[in-house]
Structure 1
Amino acid sequence: MHATLGLLQKFAPTVAQAHPTGEAFAIVRRMLQERPRHFREILADGIASTTPEGDDKPVAYKMKKSKGKGKAEVESIAVPEGHPFMSGTFLKKRIIPVLESQNLVRKAWLDAVPGSSLAKMSHHQRKHAMWVIQEEGKLAERWDAITDPSLTLPTLRRLGAEERAAKAEAAVKRREAAFNSGREERTERDIMAWADRPVGFTTSLERKHLNTRRARARPIKEALVAERAVVKAEVAKALEADKKTLSKIASRVQKSSAAAVEKSAEAAKAAAEAVEAHRAAQAAKEKRDQELARRRKAQSAEARKANRAKEAEGKAEGKDKVPA
Protein backbone atom coordinates (compact mmCIF):
# COMPACT_ATOMS: atom_id res chain seq x y z
CA MET A 1 0.00 0.00 0.00
CA HIS A 2 2.74 2.45 1.03
CA ALA A 3 4.81 1.47 -2.02
CA THR A 4 1.84 2.18 -4.31
CA LEU A 5 1.28 5.58 -2.72
CA GLY A 6 4.99 6.34 -3.08
CA LEU A 7 4.94 5.49 -6.80
CA LEU A 8 1.80 7.57 -7.33
CA GLN A 9 3.39 10.50 -5.57
CA LYS A 10 6.65 10.07 -7.51
CA PHE A 11 5.04 9.97 -10.96
CA ALA A 12 2.21 12.42 -10.24
CA PRO A 13 2.13 15.45 -12.56
CA THR A 14 3.76 18.51 -11.03
CA VAL A 15 1.54 21.51 -10.36
CA ALA A 16 2.98 24.87 -11.35
CA GLN A 17 3.54 26.89 -8.21
CA ALA A 18 2.15 30.42 -8.29
CA HIS A 19 4.61 33.27 -7.99
CA PRO A 20 4.15 36.98 -7.18
CA THR A 21 3.48 39.28 -10.09
CA GLY A 22 4.60 42.83 -10.76
CA GLU A 23 1.00 43.95 -10.25
CA ALA A 24 1.00 42.60 -6.67
CA PHE A 25 4.23 44.47 -5.87
CA ALA A 26 2.77 47.60 -7.47
CA ILE A 27 -0.32 47.43 -5.22
CA VAL A 28 1.88 47.16 -2.12
CA ARG A 29 3.97 50.10 -3.34
CA ARG A 30 0.88 52.22 -3.93
CA MET A 31 -0.54 51.42 -0.49
CA LEU A 32 2.73 52.24 1.33
CA GLN A 33 3.32 55.44 -0.64
CA GLU A 34 0.17 56.85 0.95
CA ARG A 35 1.25 56.02 4.52
CA PRO A 36 2.83 53.21 6.58
CA ARG A 37 0.43 50.31 6.96
CA HIS A 38 -0.01 47.16 9.01
CA PHE A 39 -0.13 43.84 7.14
CA ARG A 40 -3.91 43.60 7.58
CA GLU A 41 -4.32 47.15 6.26
CA ILE A 42 -2.19 46.35 3.18
CA LEU A 43 -4.34 43.28 2.55
CA ALA A 44 -7.71 44.98 3.10
CA ASP A 45 -6.89 48.27 1.35
CA GLY A 46 -5.13 46.49 -1.51
CA ILE A 47 -8.19 44.35 -2.16
CA ALA A 48 -10.53 47.34 -1.78
CA SER A 49 -8.48 49.38 -4.28
CA THR A 50 -9.04 46.77 -6.99
CA THR A 51 -12.66 45.91 -6.09
CA PRO A 52 -15.37 47.77 -8.07
CA GLU A 53 -17.56 50.15 -6.07
CA GLY A 54 -20.80 48.66 -4.82
CA ASP A 55 -19.36 45.23 -4.11
CA ASP A 56 -19.44 43.92 -0.58
CA LYS A 57 -16.41 44.42 1.61
CA PRO A 58 -13.97 41.53 1.39
CA VAL A 59 -14.64 40.41 4.96
CA ALA A 60 -15.49 36.85 5.97
CA TYR A 61 -15.71 35.01 9.26
CA LYS A 62 -14.08 31.73 10.20
CA MET A 63 -13.65 29.60 13.31
CA LYS A 64 -10.27 29.99 14.97
CA LYS A 65 -8.89 28.58 18.19
CA SER A 66 -9.05 31.19 20.94
CA LYS A 67 -7.14 31.54 24.20
CA GLY A 68 -9.83 29.75 26.19
CA LYS A 69 -11.44 26.41 25.48
CA GLY A 70 -13.14 25.84 22.17
CA LYS A 71 -13.07 28.07 19.11
CA ALA A 72 -14.22 31.62 18.52
CA GLU A 73 -15.50 33.30 15.39
CA VAL A 74 -12.97 35.88 14.21
CA GLU A 75 -12.89 38.32 11.31
CA SER A 76 -10.97 37.20 8.24
CA ILE A 77 -10.30 39.09 5.01
CA ALA A 78 -11.36 37.08 1.97
CA VAL A 79 -9.22 37.57 -1.14
CA PRO A 80 -11.29 37.51 -4.37
CA GLU A 81 -10.39 34.90 -6.92
CA GLY A 82 -7.88 36.13 -9.45
CA HIS A 83 -6.55 38.94 -7.23
CA PRO A 84 -2.73 39.46 -7.41
CA PHE A 85 -2.46 38.88 -3.64
CA MET A 86 -4.01 35.36 -4.05
CA SER A 87 -4.34 35.00 -0.25
CA GLY A 88 -3.29 36.62 3.00
CA THR A 89 -0.69 33.91 3.56
CA PHE A 90 0.70 34.46 0.06
CA LEU A 91 1.02 38.20 0.73
CA LYS A 92 2.71 37.62 4.09
CA LYS A 93 5.11 34.83 3.08
CA ARG A 94 5.74 35.32 -0.64
CA ILE A 95 5.29 39.01 -1.52
CA ILE A 96 6.39 41.12 1.46
CA PRO A 97 9.50 38.98 2.26
CA VAL A 98 10.81 39.59 -1.28
CA LEU A 99 10.40 43.35 -0.81
CA GLU A 100 12.05 43.18 2.60
CA SER A 101 15.02 41.22 1.27
CA GLN A 102 15.56 43.93 -1.37
CA ASN A 103 15.44 46.70 1.32
CA LEU A 104 12.37 48.14 -0.39
CA VAL A 105 10.30 47.99 2.80
CA ARG A 106 11.19 47.91 6.48
CA LYS A 107 9.23 47.19 9.64
CA ALA A 108 8.74 49.93 12.23
CA TRP A 109 6.69 50.12 15.42
CA LEU A 110 4.27 53.04 14.98
CA ASP A 111 0.95 54.26 16.31
CA ALA A 112 -2.20 53.45 14.37
CA VAL A 113 -3.62 56.28 12.26
CA PRO A 114 -6.73 57.71 13.98
CA GLY A 115 -9.91 56.57 12.27
CA SER A 116 -8.27 53.67 10.45
CA SER A 117 -9.50 50.10 10.70
CA LEU A 118 -6.42 49.20 12.74
CA ALA A 119 -7.22 51.92 15.28
CA LYS A 120 -10.81 50.68 15.55
CA MET A 121 -9.65 47.09 16.14
CA SER A 122 -7.23 48.13 18.93
CA HIS A 123 -8.85 48.15 22.35
CA HIS A 124 -6.00 50.13 23.93
CA GLN A 125 -3.29 52.49 22.79
CA ARG A 126 -0.19 50.60 21.67
CA LYS A 127 2.26 50.61 18.83
CA HIS A 128 1.85 48.28 15.87
CA ALA A 129 4.29 46.65 13.47
CA MET A 130 3.93 48.80 10.34
CA TRP A 131 5.56 48.39 6.95
CA VAL A 132 7.33 51.54 5.69
CA ILE A 133 8.38 52.02 2.07
CA GLN A 134 11.97 52.92 1.13
CA GLU A 135 12.50 54.67 -2.20
CA GLU A 136 15.66 56.70 -1.65
CA GLY A 137 18.35 56.78 -4.34
CA LYS A 138 18.67 53.61 -6.40
CA LEU A 139 15.85 51.91 -4.49
CA ALA A 140 13.36 53.75 -6.73
CA GLU A 141 14.90 52.04 -9.78
CA ARG A 142 14.65 48.69 -8.00
CA TRP A 143 10.97 49.41 -7.28
CA ASP A 144 10.38 50.19 -10.96
CA ALA A 145 12.01 46.91 -11.97
CA ILE A 146 10.06 44.73 -9.53
CA THR A 147 6.70 46.37 -10.30
CA ASP A 148 7.14 45.87 -14.05
CA PRO A 149 4.09 43.98 -15.40
CA SER A 150 6.45 41.84 -17.49
CA LEU A 151 8.33 40.57 -14.42
CA THR A 152 9.81 37.17 -15.32
CA LEU A 153 10.09 34.03 -13.24
CA PRO A 154 13.94 33.89 -13.43
CA THR A 155 14.08 37.36 -11.90
CA LEU A 156 11.76 36.24 -9.13
CA ARG A 157 13.87 33.12 -8.54
CA ARG A 158 16.96 35.30 -8.18
CA LEU A 159 15.10 37.55 -5.76
CA GLY A 160 13.89 34.47 -3.89
CA ALA A 161 17.48 33.26 -3.54
CA GLU A 162 18.44 36.67 -2.18
CA GLU A 163 15.46 36.47 0.17
CA ARG A 164 16.60 33.08 1.52
CA ALA A 165 20.17 34.40 1.92
CA ALA A 166 18.86 37.43 3.78
CA LYS A 167 16.79 35.21 6.08
CA ALA A 168 19.78 32.95 6.76
CA GLU A 169 21.97 35.95 7.52
CA ALA A 170 19.32 37.40 9.84
CA ALA A 171 19.04 34.03 11.64
CA VAL A 172 22.83 33.92 12.11
CA LYS A 173 22.82 37.47 13.49
CA ARG A 174 19.98 36.66 15.90
CA ARG A 175 21.80 33.57 17.17
CA GLU A 176 25.06 35.45 17.53
CA ALA A 177 23.25 38.15 19.51
CA ALA A 178 21.76 35.45 21.75
CA PHE A 179 25.24 34.01 22.34
CA ASN A 180 26.72 37.44 23.14
CA SER A 181 23.89 38.35 25.51
CA GLY A 182 24.16 35.03 27.39
CA ARG A 183 20.63 33.82 26.57
CA GLU A 184 22.08 30.78 24.79
CA GLU A 185 25.31 28.84 25.16
CA ARG A 186 27.43 27.74 22.22
CA THR A 187 27.59 24.04 21.55
CA GLU A 188 30.95 22.51 20.73
CA ARG A 189 30.09 22.46 17.04
CA ASP A 190 29.09 26.14 17.26
CA ILE A 191 32.45 26.89 18.85
CA MET A 192 34.26 24.97 16.09
CA ALA A 193 32.42 27.04 13.43
CA TRP A 194 32.76 30.33 15.34
CA ALA A 195 34.58 32.91 13.19
CA ASP A 196 35.74 35.00 16.20
CA ARG A 197 36.79 31.96 18.19
CA PRO A 198 39.80 32.67 20.47
CA VAL A 199 43.04 31.22 19.13
CA GLY A 200 44.53 28.28 21.05
CA PHE A 201 41.36 26.81 22.56
CA THR A 202 39.99 23.41 21.54
CA THR A 203 36.80 21.50 22.28
CA SER A 204 36.39 17.99 23.56
CA LEU A 205 35.50 16.88 20.02
CA GLU A 206 38.88 18.16 18.84
CA ARG A 207 40.67 16.31 21.65
CA LYS A 208 39.33 12.85 20.77
CA HIS A 209 42.70 11.79 19.34
CA LEU A 210 44.45 12.37 22.70
CA ASN A 211 44.71 9.81 25.46
CA THR A 212 42.77 10.34 28.69
CA ARG A 213 45.62 11.99 30.60
CA ARG A 214 46.50 14.43 27.82
CA ALA A 215 42.84 15.19 27.11
CA ARG A 216 42.24 16.10 30.78
CA ALA A 217 45.40 18.22 30.97
CA ARG A 218 44.87 20.05 27.65
CA PRO A 219 42.34 22.68 28.94
CA ILE A 220 44.74 23.63 31.79
CA LYS A 221 47.61 23.88 29.33
CA GLU A 222 45.56 26.05 26.95
CA ALA A 223 44.56 28.35 29.83
CA LEU A 224 48.22 28.73 30.88
CA VAL A 225 49.27 29.46 27.30
CA ALA A 226 46.49 32.04 26.98
CA GLU A 227 47.51 33.65 30.29
CA ARG A 228 51.14 33.85 29.16
CA ALA A 229 50.03 35.36 25.87
CA VAL A 230 48.03 38.00 27.73
CA VAL A 231 51.03 38.84 29.95
CA LYS A 232 53.29 38.99 26.90
CA ALA A 233 50.86 41.28 25.12
CA GLU A 234 50.66 43.56 28.16
CA VAL A 235 54.47 43.69 28.41
CA ALA A 236 54.73 44.49 24.71
CA LYS A 237 52.10 47.19 25.12
CA ALA A 238 53.99 48.68 28.08
CA LEU A 239 57.27 48.61 26.11
CA GLU A 240 55.57 50.28 23.19
CA ALA A 241 54.22 52.94 25.53
CA ASP A 242 57.74 53.42 26.98
CA LYS A 243 59.15 53.74 23.46
CA LYS A 244 56.58 56.38 22.63
CA THR A 245 57.36 58.23 25.88
CA LEU A 246 61.12 58.11 25.21
CA SER A 247 60.55 59.26 21.66
CA LYS A 248 58.50 62.20 22.92
CA ILE A 249 61.22 63.08 25.46
CA ALA A 250 63.94 62.86 22.79
CA SER A 251 61.89 65.02 20.49
CA ARG A 252 61.43 67.61 23.22
CA VAL A 253 65.16 67.53 24.06
CA GLN A 254 66.03 67.90 20.39
CA LYS A 255 63.65 70.80 20.04
CA SER A 256 64.99 72.46 23.21
CA SER A 257 68.59 71.88 22.02
CA ALA A 258 67.79 73.39 18.67
CA ALA A 259 66.17 76.35 20.42
CA ALA A 260 69.20 76.71 22.72
CA VAL A 261 71.59 76.58 19.76
CA GLU A 262 69.52 79.17 17.96
CA LYS A 263 69.51 81.40 21.03
CA SER A 264 73.29 80.93 21.41
CA ALA A 265 73.81 81.88 17.77
CA GLU A 266 71.66 84.96 18.23
CA ALA A 267 73.58 85.87 21.41
CA ALA A 268 76.92 85.37 19.62
CA LYS A 269 75.73 87.51 16.76
CA ALA A 270 74.59 90.21 19.17
CA ALA A 271 77.94 90.02 21.02
CA ALA A 272 79.88 90.30 17.73
CA GLU A 273 77.79 93.27 16.75
CA ALA A 274 78.43 94.86 20.17
CA VAL A 275 82.20 94.26 19.86
CA GLU A 276 82.20 95.72 16.36
CA ALA A 277 80.28 98.75 17.58
CA HIS A 278 82.72 99.15 20.51
CA ARG A 279 85.69 98.94 18.16
CA ALA A 280 84.14 101.51 15.85
CA ALA A 281 83.51 103.80 18.83
CA GLN A 282 87.11 103.34 20.02
CA ALA A 283 88.46 104.10 16.55
CA ALA A 284 86.31 107.22 16.32
CA LYS A 285 87.50 108.32 19.77
CA GLU A 286 91.15 107.71 18.87
CA LYS A 287 90.66 109.69 15.66
CA ARG A 288 89.12 112.57 17.60
CA ASP A 289 91.96 112.48 20.15
CA GLN A 290 94.58 112.52 17.42
CA GLU A 291 92.88 115.44 15.72
CA LEU A 292 92.71 117.31 19.01
CA ALA A 293 96.38 116.58 19.73
CA ARG A 294 97.34 117.75 16.25
CA ARG A 295 95.43 120.99 16.73
CA ARG A 296 96.98 121.56 20.15
CA LYS A 297 100.48 120.91 18.72
CA ALA A 298 99.84 123.32 15.89
CA GLN A 299 98.59 125.94 18.35
CA SER A 300 101.68 125.43 20.55
CA ALA A 301 103.97 125.81 17.55
CA GLU A 302 102.26 129.03 16.50
CA ALA A 303 102.43 130.35 20.07
CA ARG A 304 106.17 129.61 20.29
CA LYS A 305 106.72 131.23 16.92
CA ALA A 306 104.84 134.32 18.03
CA ASN A 307 106.85 134.50 21.26
CA ARG A 308 110.12 134.24 19.36
CA ALA A 309 109.02 137.03 17.07
CA LYS A 310 108.18 139.24 20.03
CA GLU A 311 111.52 138.51 21.65
CA ALA A 312 113.33 139.37 18.45
CA GLU A 313 111.42 142.62 18.15
CA GLY A 314 112.20 143.47 21.79
CA LYS A 315 115.92 142.88 21.26
CA ALA A 316 115.91 145.06 18.16
CA GLU A 317 114.23 147.90 19.98
CA GLY A 318 116.75 147.61 22.85
CA LYS A 319 119.71 147.99 20.47
CA ASP A 320 118.21 151.10 18.98
CA LYS A 321 117.88 152.81 22.43
CA VAL A 322 121.62 152.36 23.51
CA PRO A 323 123.48 155.93 23.59
CA ALA A 324 126.37 156.63 21.29
Structure 2
Amino acid sequence: MPLFWRIFLLNAVVLIAAAALLLGPVTVSTPVLLTEAAVLTAGLAAMLVANGVLLRLGLAPLQRLTRAMTTTDLLRPGRRPAVGGHGEVAELITTFNTMLDRLEAERATSAARALSAQEAERHRIAQELHDEIGQTLTAVLLELKRVADHATPAVREELHQVQETTRASLDEIRRIARRLRPGVLEELGLTSALKALTTEFTWPTPAVRHHIDADLPPLSRDIELVLYRVAQESLTNVARHAGAHRVDLTLRHAPSGVELRVRDDGRGIDGAAEGAGISGMRERALLIGADLALGPGADRGTEVRLIVPVHHRSR
Protein backbone atom coordinates (compact mmCIF):
# COMPACT_ATOMS: atom_id res chain seq x y z
CA MET A 1 0.00 0.00 0.00
CA PRO A 2 1.41 3.46 -0.87
CA LEU A 3 2.69 5.61 1.96
CA PHE A 4 -0.03 8.19 1.34
CA TRP A 5 -2.85 5.74 1.90
CA ARG A 6 -1.21 4.15 4.93
CA ILE A 7 -0.91 7.51 6.70
CA PHE A 8 -4.32 8.64 5.52
CA LEU A 9 -6.13 5.50 6.68
CA LEU A 10 -4.35 5.57 10.03
CA ASN A 11 -5.46 9.16 10.62
CA ALA A 12 -8.94 8.28 9.40
CA VAL A 13 -9.23 5.45 11.93
CA VAL A 14 -8.24 7.82 14.73
CA LEU A 15 -10.75 10.48 13.65
CA ILE A 16 -13.58 7.97 13.16
CA ALA A 17 -12.95 6.48 16.59
CA ALA A 18 -13.03 9.96 18.13
CA ALA A 19 -16.29 10.75 16.36
CA ALA A 20 -17.79 7.43 17.49
CA LEU A 21 -16.96 8.26 21.09
CA LEU A 22 -18.63 11.62 20.75
CA LEU A 23 -21.71 9.99 19.30
CA GLY A 24 -21.74 7.36 22.04
CA PRO A 25 -21.79 7.79 25.83
CA VAL A 26 -19.19 10.56 25.71
CA THR A 27 -21.42 13.32 24.36
CA VAL A 28 -23.15 16.45 25.49
CA SER A 29 -26.63 15.00 25.27
CA THR A 30 -28.35 11.64 25.40
CA PRO A 31 -29.87 10.61 23.10
CA VAL A 32 -27.81 12.23 20.36
CA LEU A 33 -29.54 15.16 18.80
CA LEU A 34 -29.85 15.24 15.02
CA THR A 35 -28.12 18.61 14.83
CA GLU A 36 -25.19 17.32 16.89
CA ALA A 37 -24.82 14.26 14.65
CA ALA A 38 -24.91 16.45 11.54
CA VAL A 39 -22.31 18.83 12.93
CA LEU A 40 -19.98 15.98 13.99
CA THR A 41 -20.37 14.22 10.66
CA ALA A 42 -19.64 17.40 8.74
CA GLY A 43 -16.64 18.11 10.97
CA LEU A 44 -15.32 14.57 10.47
CA ALA A 45 -15.66 14.86 6.69
CA ALA A 46 -13.90 18.24 6.70
CA MET A 47 -11.04 16.85 8.78
CA LEU A 48 -10.64 13.85 6.46
CA VAL A 49 -10.56 16.08 3.38
CA ALA A 50 -8.10 18.48 4.98
CA ASN A 51 -5.95 15.55 6.10
CA GLY A 52 -5.93 14.09 2.59
CA VAL A 53 -5.04 17.41 0.95
CA LEU A 54 -2.23 18.10 3.39
CA LEU A 55 -0.80 14.61 2.98
CA ARG A 56 -1.02 14.84 -0.79
CA LEU A 57 0.85 18.14 -0.78
CA GLY A 58 3.41 16.87 1.69
CA LEU A 59 4.13 13.64 -0.19
CA ALA A 60 4.05 15.10 -3.72
CA PRO A 61 7.86 15.64 -3.81
CA LEU A 62 8.37 11.98 -2.92
CA GLN A 63 6.07 10.94 -5.77
CA ARG A 64 8.07 13.07 -8.20
CA LEU A 65 11.26 11.52 -6.88
CA THR A 66 9.80 8.04 -7.39
CA ARG A 67 8.94 8.83 -11.02
CA ALA A 68 12.43 10.22 -11.56
CA MET A 69 14.00 7.06 -10.13
CA THR A 70 12.01 4.82 -12.47
CA THR A 71 12.70 6.89 -15.62
CA THR A 72 16.32 7.93 -15.10
CA ASP A 73 18.65 6.87 -17.91
CA LEU A 74 22.36 7.64 -17.62
CA LEU A 75 22.60 7.75 -21.43
CA ARG A 76 20.16 10.69 -21.39
CA PRO A 77 21.69 12.93 -18.71
CA GLY A 78 20.51 16.26 -17.44
CA ARG A 79 17.06 15.42 -16.09
CA ARG A 80 16.72 16.10 -12.39
CA PRO A 81 13.67 16.11 -10.08
CA ALA A 82 12.95 19.53 -8.63
CA VAL A 83 13.88 19.90 -4.98
CA GLY A 84 10.64 20.37 -3.02
CA GLY A 85 9.17 19.69 0.36
CA HIS A 86 10.81 20.39 3.69
CA GLY A 87 13.33 18.79 5.97
CA GLU A 88 14.13 15.16 5.20
CA VAL A 89 12.15 15.14 1.94
CA ALA A 90 14.14 18.00 0.41
CA GLU A 91 17.37 16.48 1.70
CA LEU A 92 16.49 13.13 0.11
CA ILE A 93 15.86 14.71 -3.31
CA THR A 94 19.07 16.73 -3.10
CA THR A 95 21.03 13.59 -2.21
CA PHE A 96 19.47 11.75 -5.16
CA ASN A 97 20.45 14.53 -7.57
CA THR A 98 24.00 14.52 -6.21
CA MET A 99 24.16 10.77 -6.69
CA LEU A 100 23.02 11.16 -10.31
CA ASP A 101 25.74 13.76 -10.94
CA ARG A 102 28.37 11.39 -9.59
CA LEU A 103 27.05 8.39 -11.54
CA GLU A 104 26.93 10.32 -14.81
CA ALA A 105 30.48 11.61 -14.31
CA GLU A 106 31.73 8.11 -13.50
CA ARG A 107 29.92 6.62 -16.48
CA ALA A 108 31.34 9.27 -18.81
CA THR A 109 34.85 8.56 -17.55
CA SER A 110 34.50 4.79 -17.86
CA ALA A 111 32.89 5.11 -21.29
CA ALA A 112 35.76 7.29 -22.47
CA ARG A 113 38.26 4.66 -21.35
CA ALA A 114 36.26 1.85 -22.94
CA LEU A 115 35.84 3.64 -26.26
CA SER A 116 39.50 4.62 -26.32
CA ALA A 117 40.46 0.99 -25.75
CA GLN A 118 37.98 -0.05 -28.43
CA GLU A 119 39.50 2.31 -30.99
CA ALA A 120 42.98 1.05 -30.13
CA GLU A 121 41.82 -2.55 -30.57
CA ARG A 122 40.17 -1.68 -33.89
CA HIS A 123 43.44 -0.12 -35.02
CA ARG A 124 45.42 -3.21 -34.00
CA ILE A 125 43.04 -5.65 -35.72
CA ALA A 126 42.96 -3.54 -38.90
CA GLN A 127 46.75 -3.40 -38.93
CA GLU A 128 47.02 -7.17 -38.54
CA LEU A 129 44.43 -7.78 -41.25
CA HIS A 130 46.32 -5.51 -43.61
CA ASP A 131 49.86 -6.60 -42.76
CA GLU A 132 49.42 -10.30 -42.02
CA ILE A 133 46.39 -11.70 -43.81
CA GLY A 134 46.48 -9.16 -46.63
CA GLN A 135 50.11 -9.86 -47.44
CA THR A 136 49.57 -13.60 -47.16
CA LEU A 137 46.70 -13.51 -49.65
CA THR A 138 48.75 -11.29 -51.95
CA ALA A 139 51.52 -13.89 -51.88
CA VAL A 140 48.95 -16.61 -52.62
CA LEU A 141 47.74 -14.64 -55.65
CA LEU A 142 51.28 -14.32 -56.98
CA GLU A 143 51.94 -18.02 -56.47
CA LEU A 144 48.68 -18.95 -58.20
CA LYS A 145 49.65 -16.77 -61.15
CA ARG A 146 53.05 -18.42 -61.35
CA VAL A 147 51.51 -21.91 -61.26
CA ALA A 148 48.82 -20.95 -63.79
CA ASP A 149 51.44 -19.76 -66.26
CA HIS A 150 52.92 -23.28 -66.36
CA ALA A 151 49.67 -25.28 -66.14
CA THR A 152 47.59 -26.90 -68.85
CA PRO A 153 44.68 -24.88 -70.26
CA ALA A 154 42.09 -26.86 -68.27
CA VAL A 155 43.96 -26.46 -64.98
CA ARG A 156 44.73 -22.83 -65.80
CA GLU A 157 41.02 -22.06 -66.03
CA GLU A 158 40.40 -23.58 -62.60
CA LEU A 159 43.33 -21.67 -61.15
CA HIS A 160 41.92 -18.44 -62.55
CA GLN A 161 38.68 -19.11 -60.66
CA VAL A 162 40.67 -19.68 -57.48
CA GLN A 163 42.52 -16.43 -58.16
CA GLU A 164 39.26 -14.52 -58.48
CA THR A 165 37.96 -16.01 -55.22
CA THR A 166 41.20 -15.13 -53.45
CA ARG A 167 41.16 -11.62 -54.90
CA ALA A 168 37.57 -11.12 -53.72
CA SER A 169 38.56 -12.28 -50.23
CA LEU A 170 41.47 -9.86 -50.24
CA ASP A 171 39.17 -6.99 -51.23
CA GLU A 172 36.76 -7.92 -48.46
CA ILE A 173 39.54 -8.01 -45.88
CA ARG A 174 40.74 -4.59 -47.01
CA ARG A 175 37.20 -3.25 -46.78
CA ILE A 176 36.85 -4.58 -43.23
CA ALA A 177 40.21 -3.06 -42.31
CA ARG A 178 39.10 0.33 -43.67
CA ARG A 179 35.92 0.20 -41.58
CA LEU A 180 37.86 -0.75 -38.47
CA ARG A 181 40.43 1.97 -39.01
CA PRO A 182 39.20 4.85 -41.20
CA GLY A 183 42.54 5.88 -42.65
CA VAL A 184 40.83 8.33 -44.99
CA LEU A 185 39.52 10.18 -41.93
CA GLU A 186 43.04 10.68 -40.61
CA GLU A 187 44.54 11.53 -43.98
CA LEU A 188 41.85 13.49 -45.86
CA GLY A 189 39.42 14.64 -43.17
CA LEU A 190 35.79 14.12 -42.21
CA THR A 191 34.17 15.24 -45.48
CA SER A 192 36.14 12.80 -47.64
CA ALA A 193 35.68 10.03 -45.06
CA LEU A 194 31.89 10.40 -45.03
CA LYS A 195 31.73 10.46 -48.82
CA ALA A 196 33.81 7.31 -48.97
CA LEU A 197 31.63 5.72 -46.28
CA THR A 198 28.44 6.19 -48.30
CA THR A 199 29.95 4.30 -51.23
CA GLU A 200 30.59 1.20 -49.11
CA PHE A 201 26.90 0.52 -48.43
CA THR A 202 24.58 -0.88 -51.09
CA TRP A 203 20.85 -1.56 -51.00
CA PRO A 204 18.49 -3.25 -53.49
CA THR A 205 18.04 0.19 -55.04
CA PRO A 206 21.32 2.00 -54.35
CA ALA A 207 20.45 5.60 -53.63
CA VAL A 208 22.71 6.81 -50.84
CA ARG A 209 22.82 10.57 -51.11
CA HIS A 210 25.11 12.81 -49.10
CA HIS A 211 24.81 16.54 -48.46
CA ILE A 212 27.85 18.01 -46.72
CA ASP A 213 28.31 21.75 -46.15
CA ALA A 214 31.51 23.26 -47.40
CA ASP A 215 31.72 25.82 -44.57
CA LEU A 216 32.03 23.45 -41.63
CA PRO A 217 33.97 24.91 -38.68
CA PRO A 218 37.25 23.35 -37.55
CA LEU A 219 36.57 20.21 -35.52
CA SER A 220 38.77 18.33 -33.12
CA ARG A 221 39.92 14.80 -33.89
CA ASP A 222 37.63 13.34 -31.21
CA ILE A 223 34.56 15.11 -32.61
CA GLU A 224 35.36 14.01 -36.16
CA LEU A 225 35.76 10.43 -34.99
CA VAL A 226 32.41 10.49 -33.14
CA LEU A 227 30.63 11.96 -36.17
CA TYR A 228 32.16 9.30 -38.40
CA ARG A 229 31.33 6.40 -36.06
CA VAL A 230 27.73 7.56 -35.57
CA ALA A 231 27.28 7.84 -39.34
CA GLN A 232 28.87 4.42 -39.81
CA GLU A 233 26.65 2.74 -37.20
CA SER A 234 23.53 4.45 -38.59
CA LEU A 235 24.24 3.24 -42.12
CA THR A 236 25.02 -0.24 -40.81
CA ASN A 237 21.66 -0.37 -39.01
CA VAL A 238 19.89 0.74 -42.18
CA ALA A 239 21.60 -1.95 -44.23
CA ARG A 240 20.81 -4.68 -41.71
CA HIS A 241 17.33 -3.85 -40.49
CA ALA A 242 15.56 -1.05 -42.36
CA GLY A 243 14.91 -2.54 -45.79
CA ALA A 244 15.26 0.98 -47.18
CA HIS A 245 15.62 2.08 -50.80
CA ARG A 246 16.88 5.59 -50.15
CA VAL A 247 19.17 7.03 -47.50
CA ASP A 248 20.14 10.67 -46.99
CA LEU A 249 23.27 11.60 -45.03
CA THR A 250 23.53 15.29 -44.18
CA LEU A 251 26.27 17.15 -42.35
CA ARG A 252 25.68 20.86 -41.98
CA HIS A 253 26.61 23.89 -39.96
CA ALA A 254 23.42 24.63 -38.01
CA PRO A 255 22.78 27.59 -35.69
CA SER A 256 23.09 25.27 -32.69
CA GLY A 257 26.36 23.73 -33.89
CA VAL A 258 27.31 20.96 -36.29
CA GLU A 259 24.44 18.64 -37.18
CA LEU A 260 24.72 15.13 -38.61
CA ARG A 261 21.48 13.57 -39.88
CA VAL A 262 20.96 10.11 -41.39
CA ARG A 263 17.43 9.53 -42.70
CA ASP A 264 16.02 6.48 -44.50
CA ASP A 265 12.66 5.43 -45.96
CA GLY A 266 12.64 1.94 -44.40
CA ARG A 267 10.27 0.23 -42.05
CA GLY A 268 11.17 2.34 -39.00
CA ILE A 269 12.06 1.33 -35.48
CA ASP A 270 8.44 0.70 -34.33
CA GLY A 271 9.31 1.03 -30.65
CA ALA A 272 11.99 -1.66 -30.81
CA ALA A 273 14.41 -1.89 -27.93
CA GLU A 274 17.72 -0.13 -28.40
CA GLY A 275 20.60 -2.47 -29.05
CA ALA A 276 24.30 -2.24 -28.36
CA GLY A 277 24.90 -0.16 -31.49
CA ILE A 278 22.54 2.63 -30.48
CA SER A 279 23.82 2.56 -26.90
CA GLY A 280 27.33 2.92 -28.28
CA MET A 281 26.25 5.95 -30.30
CA ARG A 282 24.74 7.54 -27.20
CA GLU A 283 27.93 6.95 -25.22
CA ARG A 284 30.03 8.50 -27.96
CA ALA A 285 27.72 11.52 -28.09
CA LEU A 286 28.10 12.01 -24.34
CA LEU A 287 31.89 12.12 -24.69
CA ILE A 288 31.76 15.33 -26.76
CA GLY A 289 28.70 16.86 -25.10
CA ALA A 290 26.51 16.25 -28.16
CA ASP A 291 22.79 15.53 -28.31
CA LEU A 292 21.67 12.31 -30.07
CA ALA A 293 18.05 11.79 -31.09
CA LEU A 294 16.43 8.84 -32.85
CA GLY A 295 12.89 8.80 -34.16
CA PRO A 296 10.64 8.55 -37.21
CA GLY A 297 11.60 10.53 -40.29
CA ALA A 298 9.56 13.20 -42.02
CA ASP A 299 7.58 10.67 -44.06
CA ARG A 300 8.45 7.27 -42.63
CA GLY A 301 11.54 5.30 -41.81
CA THR A 302 14.03 6.39 -39.18
CA GLU A 303 16.05 9.53 -38.60
CA VAL A 304 19.25 9.69 -36.54
CA ARG A 305 20.32 13.21 -35.61
CA LEU A 306 23.50 14.19 -33.78
CA ILE A 307 24.05 17.84 -32.82
CA VAL A 308 27.45 18.98 -31.56
CA PRO A 309 27.01 22.28 -29.64
CA VAL A 310 28.83 25.37 -30.81
CA HIS A 311 31.13 25.56 -27.79
CA HIS A 312 32.39 22.04 -28.52
CA ARG A 313 32.98 22.43 -32.22
CA SER A 314 36.46 23.90 -32.45
CA ARG A 315 39.83 23.54 -30.80
Give the shorter-chain TM-score range.
Answer: under 0.3
TM-score using structure 1 length: 0.20
TM-score using structure 2 length: 0.20
Name which one, 1 or 2, has greater alpha-carbon Rg.
1
